[in-house]
A and B are shown apart, each in its own frame.
Chain A
Amino acid sequence: EPEVTQTPSHQVTQMGQEVILRCVPISNHLYFYWYRQILGQKVEFLVSFYNNEISEKSEIFDDQFSVERPDGSNFTLKIRSTKLEDSAMYFCASSWDSDTQYFGPGTRLTVL
């Protein structure tokens, strides 16, 4: 069964450093998303991406964040200058119809 994959599974970084989180969505899906989940809290929307551009972004997704689909398979989230409060699980999701979203296993980001 096709699934969303994410790398790395755990990323540890120093405050102020740049990180890139990588995702391989399910092939033939058209809609791509990043969500995050702070430990013990609910899943929060960050950004959606369709037709090679951002469709919607939350207030969390400020100028420090960017997304890219550099080729036909990868979807990346970049945080330019990480802050302590960026520590969270980051989930990539993809969808064929924009409703039925399938999530990856997540990347745990720890900012020290």
Chain B
Amino acid sequence: QQQVKQSPQSLIVQKGGISIINCAYENTAFDYFPWYQQFPGKGPALLIAIRPDVSEKKEGRFTISFNKSAKQFSLHIMDSQPGDSATYFCAAIGTGTASKLTFGTGTRLQVTL
């Protein structure tokens, strides 16, 4: 019940295309859903996050879509660029003091020219 399932495992998108990564969760106590971007040898960097009281959040080329009833959320990267090539992790966190992040398994995105 604590898992966050993420798909696809890897994704190849052409420059200018839309990258879509999907996540699903079971634990209804989760109430904050961040996405992290990780480049090789680096730490995860917070990209964008959403709470379940909204269905969509957009920041630049990055959009999170959230479906509370289906317990699913997704990251859309518009106009994908080679510099977006990285591993993307969805995560979830529940209420409570110093709550832990539960990460998805990651999606390795490659944006080709």
Contact = CB atoms under 8 A, between A and B. Distances in A.
B is bound to A: yes
Interface of A: 4, 31-33, 35, 41-45, 48-50, 55-56, 58, 91, 93, 95, 98-106
A100 B43 contact: no
Is chain A's interface secondary structure helix, strand, loop, or mixed overall?
Answer: strand
Contacts, number: 68
Given A99-B32, A100-B34, A100-B46, A43 B101 contact: yes
B103 A44 contact: yes
B44 A43 contact: yes
Given A42-B89, A42-B105, A103 B99 contact: no
A56 B101 CA distance: 11
Contacts of A100: 34, 46, 49
A103 B43 contact: yes
A99 B49 CA distance: 10
A106 B96 CA distance: 25
A4 B98 CA distance: 17
